[in-house]
Structure 1
Amino acid sequence: GLLQQQRQRRERQQRREEQHRRDEQQRHLGGVAPSGGPRRARFRCRSAGRRHSGRA
């Protein structure tokens, strides 16, 4: 019982850390190149939104 709970907690923390790292990397990449990065990100978000609305 207890061992399983501890394992689950550890796994969750690791996953959270991985996601956090990924987010930071993406932010970093976007911030480094203001000419290309943010524009690309915005376009990606827009296209994803359109796709989402189309699906629904």
Structure 2
Amino acid sequence: MVDPEATPPVYNDDGVDLTLIRWMLSLTPAERIATLQAHIDFVTLAREPHARVDEDR
């Protein structure tokens, strides 16, 4: 019998963080897209050499 109050595992046998998967699945499809787009925007901005704030100082 499975204990209904048992804490679900944080990682699977392969070391995958299951909390991130559960969190993403808790979002609506539109929220998932917005979250992933925000990550893409961040990485794109970080890769642009002219986006560095220190260069203007």
- Compute the TM-score of the two structures, normalised by the length of structure 2: 0.39
Q: Which has more radius of gyration?
A: 2
Name the structure where helix makes up a greater proportion of residues.
1
Give the TM-score, by structure 1 length.
0.39
